[in-house]
Every structure is written in C-alpha cells, then in structure tokens.
Amino acid sequence: MGGSSPCASCKLLRRRCAKDCIFAPYFPSDEPHKFAIVHKVFGASNVSKMLQELPILQRADAVSSLVYEANARVRDPVYGCVGAISYLKNQISQLQMQLAVAQTEILCIQMQQQESALPTQIHQDDCKPFLLANNNNLDSISQYLNFASSSNVIQDPADLKRESFWT
Amino acid sequence: MSSGRCAACRYLRRKCTEDCILSPYFPSNNPQRFVSVHRIYGASNVSKLLLRLPIHVRAEAADSLYFEAQCRLEDPVHGCVGLVFMLQQQIQAAESQLVKTRVQIAVMKSQAQHPQPREAESSFNNPFLRHFDNDANLSFSNQISSGFI
C-alpha cells in the first residue's frame, strides 16, 4: 500500500505513505471518509499515538471504535456518544419498568386463580389488600411510564460517569 | 480569568486571556480534567469544537468530551463504545424477557377465560386447574423452543 497508492491518511495529510505507515492497514484509500472523520475529531497525531500504544492485534478494534465515536460526535457535537448511552439507559429503565408491571400482573393472575381454586380455605378479604396494593402499583407504574416516555430527559453525563466507572 | 490561569492554559504554559474559550470548562482546581481531554482530543480540537457551539451548550459538550476521554483512557481499545455495546445487549435481553413474560400472561389469561373441563370438578380442591396449568407450561416451553420467542 505504501508504494503505489497512499493510504487515506497520507492522502489527506498530503505526505508520502511509508511502508510501515501506522495508518495504512486501517484506513485504506477507498474509504477516505473514515480517516477524515477521525482526523476531524481526534487529530491524526493523537490517533497515531493511541495506535502506537496498542498491540497490533487490537488496533483494528480501536480504529473501529474511534470511527464510531467520531461519527457520533459529528452527528451530535454536544453529547457525542454520551447521547447514545443516555438514550440506551433510558430504554433499559423503561423496559425494566414494563417487566416489573408484567411480573406483577402474573402475580395478580396467580392470586386470582388460587382464590377461585380454594374459595373455602382462603378468605377473599385476605387477598384484597394484596390485590389492591398491586393494582395501585400498576396505576402508579403506568403513570411513571407515561411521564418517562413523554419527557425528553437526558441524564447528566456526570451521573453516567459515576454509574459506569466509579462502582 | 484575572485570578489565575485556567487548567488548560496552565498545562499549555500560556497566558490565560479573559476570553479564553477553555477556562469556563477547565477550571484550575481540576487539572486532571483538562489533561484527560487533551490526551485524547488535543487542546486545539477541543477549542474548535467548543467555538462552533452556542455558549449555552458548551458546558454539556465539555462534560461529554471529558466522559469519553476518561472512557478511552480506561479502555484504549473500545473507549465508551464498549459501554454502548453492553447496553445494547442488556436491552436485547430485557426485551426477550419481556416478550416471554407477556406470552406467559396471555397463556394464563387464556386459561382463565377458556377452561377445558377434563375431570370432574371437586368443590374443595380443583384439580383440573392444576392439570390444565401443566399443559399450559408445556405449550409455553414449546413456543420458546420452536422459536416463537
């Protein structure tokens, strides 16, 4: 790649592409946008330093993640990848709430089935508080879901930082 | 900053002017914050990026750059993208669990609405419900193994 056709990096940087060019294996000349976006966000010199500090086997993965991050940053200059992380965490919270609602519904159905199966052994009054409590929970959970889905709340990146790494 | 240089200008060993673009977001009491961001993005790229943004969102942008820089320093191969993939996997698992649970609810409701009398009912202990429940569990398992879920 170094002899006849410079890699995308050297083409953009307008320099001779050496045989041991660190970028050449990961930024082929037929994908110029890939290096362009990484260079725009991180800078060629920083990318070169990052790759040099990694074992060769890990460099392809590193380049993929850098391209992903750079794309995210260009799409959303304020939040970058953090925007995607925040969105995904919200999705997980909503799914967990829906799962809790569904599991509560199963408990209610089971309680009702047990009630109808053993009417003389279990007094209905014994189940009522439990059923009422779960129905109230379902209402409040539904209200919470409506709030979560209607608002555009994005978590404070500082909170995401604390959750993710300082555990 | 009349009281002193910001963390960025201190690190870069330059005069910190009053209109320094970095000083509101890289105060001198947190030098590590700028060091992390500078190592990954470079001061020049950070300045360019912040300059392109309206003032009211620059603080958020600086925070997210710091977060991503820290991710990259902790995991030089994947950076924060590792976290993205992990969250996507968690979502897939949660969705799968939710579908299974909802199918279970549908089966249980179907049982309750259309009971199939197979044995004579006992007024004291209703065995046919227990029998029917076992059958429902089998069909639910079959649904999972046959790729319904």
Which pTM does this prediction carry?
Answer: 0.69
Nearest of B112, B114, B117, B141 to residue B128 by alpha carbon: B117
- Alpha-carbon span B149 to B133, nearest angstrom: 20
Q: Of B39, B57, B81, which has the smallest distance from its Cβ to A81's Cβ? A: B81
B140-144: long-range contacts (C-beta < 8 A, 24 or more apart)?
B140/B103, B140/B104, B140/B107, B143/B103, B144/B100
A148 within domain boundaries? no
A89 and A54 belong to one structural domain: no
- The range of the structural domain enclosing residue A38 comes to 8-75
Q: What is the pLDDT of residues A10-33, one digit of tens each?
A: 999 999 999 999 999 999 999 999
Q: Chains A and B: how many Cβ contacts under 8 Å? A: 143
A57 and A31 belong to one structural domain: yes
- Alpha-carbon span A150 to B44, nearest angstrom: 39
Which residues of chain A have a CB within 8 Å of the CB of B57? 78
Rounded to the nearest integer, the mean pLDDT of chain A is 78
Q: What is the pLDDT of residues A75-129, one digit of tens each?
A: 999 999 999 999 999 999 999 999 999 999 999 998 988 888 776 554 445 545 5
A30 within domain boundaries? yes
Contact between chains at B91 and A91 (C-beta distance less than 8 A): yes
Q: How far is B81 from chain A (nearest CA, A)?
A: 6
Would an 8 Å CB–CB cutoff place B134 in contact with chain A?
no
CA distances from B20 to A62, B17, B27, B36 (A): 33, 5, 11, 19
Tell which phi-psi region holds residue B79, choosing left (phi > 0), alpha (psi between -120 and 50) or beta. left
A68 and A90 belong to one structural domain: no
**Could you give the ipTM of this predicted complex?**
0.70
- What was the pLDDT predicted at B114? 77
Expressed in angstroms, the distance from the first to the final Cα of chain B is 61
| Structure tokens, A153 | 């709340």
A20 within domain boundaries? yes
- Alpha-carbon span B59 to B78, nearest angstrom: 25
- Alpha-carbon span B79 to B67, nearest angstrom: 10
**Count of domains in chain A?**
2
Contact between chains at A80 and B105 (C-beta distance less than 8 A): no
A64 and A23 belong to one structural domain: yes
A157 within domain boundaries? no
Which residues of chain B have a CB within 8 Å of the CB of A102? 98, 101-102, 105
A147 within domain boundaries? no
A140 within domain boundaries? no
